Amino acid sequence: QTFSIASIPGDGIGGEVVTAGLRVLDTVAKLSDGGIAFDVTEYPWSSSYYLENGTYIPDGGLEELQKHDAIYFGAVGSAEVPDHTSLWGLRLAITQPFDQWANIRPVTFLPGVESPLRKADEADLDWIVVRENSEGEYAGMGGRNLSGRGPGNEVALQTSLHTEKGTERIIRFAFDLARTRPVKKVSSVTKSNAQQYGMVLWDEVFARVAADYPDVETESVLVDAMSAKFVLHPEQLSVVVASNLHADILSDLGSALAGSLGIAASANLNPEKRFPSMFEPVHGSAPDIAGQGVSNPIGAISSAALMLDDFGLHGEADEVRRAIEDVTAAGILPRDLGGDANTIEMTEAIVAQLEAI
Ligand code: NAI
Ligand code: MG
């Protein structure tokens, strides 16, 4: 079975962590004895590509991506280009047209990794943040200079878009996911006390959909209270579903609570499979450590495991996750987790463990 992957390393540490993930996929293929193959095509779309060509994705680029079974993405963001230009130019330019409306971001403790939360013998951290990935606060609606009165008097508007259909599909997705997990619970996050239109619609849809899942426990929590709950009562969470902005923020908080932004994985899914899904670490291009070869590849490698899940290769995905856990448990850790292994050393340790499983 051959799976075709489009790889987009992007900017900064994107290249080194994508290389790490592809090295692990190579190992998965090698260990399958010809059963599985990955056919990888690399696309050089990045901020330097943009500075040369005036666009992140060339004409026909999306059609090109659509030929693949999945997209493996590093990160985008560079000091030479405004961040909103790069994010809309490359990442959102893929997630939006490919209708990757469900962004899942698992958060778990890794053995041997110190977390600001972990106390001796404390219960495990095991969540999935489900992020509405197509509308909400990142719908891109609004404008600048609306007052028409010039500098010093500018008025800008940034609107959130919440459709009943978009809200319902992400909430159903969260409930279906909760049913597959040890703790069958969905926590819905809004700010419906202050934002009285879209977020109230969200709460209403959540209550309506919840009635179809009597076997799943539910709660509705305001986002400010939820950020406190992440820190104070992490053991009470399983699936957390939230809007584009809220889930973006909460998932960075979640990964930091598990130890580092460098370990967080994510999948941008088009659940209907009309378009390829996109797998990427949660972190950005990390310009502060780019080029040093010290970035943590675990987030990117775990994202490759989510890609294996999407291909139906659940056994292989679990083995990759186990290899990561064995390596961190053995005290082999990158700099952001307090160790001194560089990107290549971490990757080779995970590859060696995978070969030994
Ligand atoms: P960032 O995630 O790049 O970095 C935040 C901090 O975490 C930095 O100190 C960085 O060194 C550290 N870090 C991140 N990933 C790491 C890893 N794998 N190993 C070790 N340390 C790691 O976020 P920041 O600094 O806010 O943004 C930098 C650029 O990335 C910006 O241009 C931003 O727009 C872009 N960005 C892109 C994203 C994407 O492509 N999906 C997501 C988030 C930010
Ligand atoms: Mg983010």
In 3D space, the residue among 3, 58, 38, 15 whose CA is nearest the CA of residue 281 turns out to be 15
Determine the CATH number of domain 115-258.
3.40.718.10
Ligand 1 atom index nearest CA of 289: 11
29 C-alpha to ligand 2 centroid (Å): 31
Q: What is the mean pLDDT of residues 17-27?
A: 98
* Residue 201 pLDDT exceeds 80: yes
Cross-strand pairs, 6: 41, 71
In 3D space, the residue among 231, 212, 215, 219 whose CA is nearest the CA of residue 186 turns out to be 219
Q: What is the mean pLDDT of residues 287-301?
A: 97
Query: From the CB of 106, is ligand 1 less than 6 Å away?
Result: no
In 3D space, the residue among 296, 286, 306 whose CA is nearest the CA of residue 259 turns out to be 296
Task: Find all residues with CB under 8 Å of 351, minimum gap 6, and list them.
Answer: 23, 24, 27, 323
Task: Find all residues with CB under 8 Å of 307, minimum gap 6, and list them.
Answer: 5, 25, 70, 72, 267, 277, 279
Given this model, what pLDDT does residue 123 score?
Answer: 59
Given this model, what pLDDT does residue 125 score?
Answer: 84
Query: From the CB of 295, is ligand 1 less than 6 Å away?
Result: yes
In 3D space, the residue among 193, 187, 225 whose CA is nearest the CA of residue 206 turns out to be 187
Query: From the CB of 286, is ligand 1 less than 6 Å away?
Result: yes
pLDDT digits (tens, 9 = 90+) for 71-121: 999 999 999 999 999 999 999 999 999 999 999 999 989 999 888 876 644
pLDDT digits (tens, 9 = 90+) for 331-347: 999 999 999 999 999 99
Residues of the chain with CATH 3.40.718.10: 1-104+263-357, 115-258
| Tokens linked to 197 | 């239109």
Residue whose Cα lies nearest atom 37 of ligand 1: it is 284
According to CATH, the superfamily of the domain at 1-104+263-357 is Isopropylmalate Dehydrogenase (3.40.718.10)
| Separation CA 107–CA 256 (nearest Å) | 9
The interface pTM score, or ipTM, of the predicted complex is 0.98
Query: From the CB of 324, is ligand 1 less than 6 Å away?
Result: no
Q: Among 18, 261, 280, 298, which residue has the most ligand 1 atoms within 8 Å of its CB, making it the best to mutate?
A: 261
Ligand with an atom nearest the CA of residue 263: 1
DSSP classification of residue 90: I
Ligand with an atom nearest the CA of residue 278: 1
Rounded to 5 degrees, φ, ψ at 96 are: -70, -60
* Residue 302 pLDDT exceeds 90: yes
Confidence of residue 17 (pLDDT cuts 50, 70, 90): very high
| Separation CA 131–CA 247 (nearest Å) | 5
Residue whose Cα lies nearest atom 16 of ligand 1: it is 262
Given this model, what pLDDT does residue 115 score?
Answer: 84
Percent of the chain scored above 90 by pLDDT?
A: 91
| Separation CA 50–CA 83 (nearest Å) | 13
Is the separation of the CB atoms in 294 and 343 below 8 Å? yes
Count other C-beta atoms under 10 Å from residue 330's C-beta: 12
Given this model, what pLDDT does residue 357 score?
Answer: 87
Given this model, what pLDDT does residue 122 score?
Answer: 59
| Separation CA 187–CA 218 (nearest Å) | 6
Is the separation of the CB atoms in 100 and 134 below 8 Å? yes
In 3D space, the residue among 46, 36, 30 whose CA is nearest the CA of residue 1 turns out to be 36
Residue whose Cα lies nearest atom 17 of ligand 1: it is 262
* Residue 69 pLDDT exceeds 90: yes
Alpha carbons within 13 angstroms on the beta-carbon side of residue 208 total 11
Ligand with an atom nearest the CA of residue 87: 1
259 C-alpha to ligand 1 centroid (Å): 15
Given this model, what pLDDT does residue 169 score?
Answer: 98
* Residue 178 pLDDT exceeds 90: yes
pLDDT digits (tens, 9 = 90+) for 116-141: 876 644 557 889 999 999 999 999 99
Count other C-beta atoms under 10 Å from residue 96's C-beta: 17
> Residue 121: left if φ>0, alpha if ψ -120 to 50, beta else—which one?
left
Query: From the CB of 83, is ligand 1 less than 6 Å away?
Result: yes
261 C-alpha to ligand 2 centroid (Å): 10
262 C-alpha to ligand 2 centroid (Å): 12
